[in-house]
């Protein structure tokens, strides 16, 4: 495989569309970008704000509840599901002050991912936001077009976006899974033995990828501090108003992601939480 990093083939949404056209054979990125680029709004469900309380819940839903649903949806659109990966918890990164309250955020103009759900989250918080493709974000920060962005420690470091801000506030408002998908046409063209190599051990790959990303969180935040950023660790009490304000996004997008699928996830989360509480 020949790999292309850092937006060298374009932004996330653009490269999903290239995958759909057959210009590239495989793709790895966020579920929100897949939803937008492939016209599959169901994938927005995984990035509803505050839908998961912790990583165990996210893993359970992705691996045991929705995996087959999403693999089937991808198949119908000409893709083949590879395996889940991870970007992590998205938090707010800003230029002039940390985000501690919704009022702090409302004084800023933020970069949003190219996703209706992400834009709706900012709207629910009363904050002006503009969707900007990945390759253009650092320039937008440097020229003052936006005052900040939200993303994970991993992505903020990998893109160099942290160089355009002074504060990183751990709101952890969206858990963002990544997904590896292939062109079905490409997969079907492979000899059976090579197809097995490409698609084998998906769950093992998912577990290894998640573990690697999660192990990096604290060191990445320390790297931000070493680079001169102030890292503000938000408390559960500080995060609660954000969760309450953005709950309306779930209702707003229920029709787009499919009420049956959303109810399935809600019921699975309820059962999973009850089981954990009973132990």
For 238-270, the pLDDT digits (tens) are 999 999 999 999 999 999 999 999 999 999 999
Name the most confidently modeled range: 4-8, 131-135, 136-140. 136-140
Residue 26 phi/psi, 5-degree rounding, is: -145, 160
List, in sequence order, every beta strand (DSSP E) within the chain. Answer: 26-30, 79-94, 109-112, 128-131, 148-151, 167-183, 230-232
What 3-state class would DSSP assign to 240? helix
Structural domains of the chain, ranges and CATH numbers in brackets: 12-277 (3.40.190.170)
d(CA 11, CA 207): 26
Instruction: Identify the pLDDT of residue 4.
Output: 85
Question: Higher model confidence: residue 1 or residue 129?
Answer: 129
Q: Provide the pLDDT confidence category of residue 11 given band limits of 50, 70 and 90.
A: confident
pTM, entire model: 0.92
For 69-120, the pLDDT digits (tens) are 999 999 999 999 999 999 999 999 999 999 999 999 999 999 999 899 999 9
Instruction: Report residue 25 as tokens.
Output: 């054979």
């Amino acid at each position: 495989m020949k790999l292309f990093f850092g937006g060298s083939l374009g932004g996330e949404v653009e490269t999903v569309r290239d995958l759909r056209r057959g210009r590239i054979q495989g793709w790895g990125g966020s579920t929100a970008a897949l939803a937008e680029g492939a016209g599959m709004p169901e994938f927005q469900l995984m990035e509803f704000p505050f839908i998961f309380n912790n990583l165990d819940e996210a893993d359970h839903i992705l691996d045991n509840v929705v995996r087959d649903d999403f693999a089937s949806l991808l198949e119908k659109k000409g893709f083949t599901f590879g395996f889940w990966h991870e970007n992590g918890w998205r938090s707010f990164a800003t230029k002039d002050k940390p985000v501690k309250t919704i009022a702090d955020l409302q004084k800023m103009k933020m970069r949003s991912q190219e996703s209706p759900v992400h834009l709706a989250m900012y709207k629910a918080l009363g904050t002006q936001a503009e969707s900007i493709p990945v390759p253009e974000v650092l320039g937008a920060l440097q020229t003052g077009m936006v005052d900040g962005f939200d993303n994970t420690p991993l992505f903020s470091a990998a893109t160099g976006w942290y160089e355009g801000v002074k504060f990183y506030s751990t709101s952890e408002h969206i858990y963002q899974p990544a997904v590896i998908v292939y062109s079905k046409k490409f997969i079907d063209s492979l000899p059976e033995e090579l197809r097995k190599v490409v698609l084998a051990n998906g769950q093992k790959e998912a577990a290894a990828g998640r573990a690697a990303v999660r192990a990096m969180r604290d060191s990445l935040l320390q790297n931000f501090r070493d680079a001169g950023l102030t890292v503000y660790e938000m408390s559960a009490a500080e995060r609660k108003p954000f969760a309450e304000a953005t709950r309306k996004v779930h209702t707003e997008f229920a029709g787009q992601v499919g009420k049956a699928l959303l109810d399935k996830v809600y019921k699975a989360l309820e059962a999973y939480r009850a089981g954990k509480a009973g132990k």
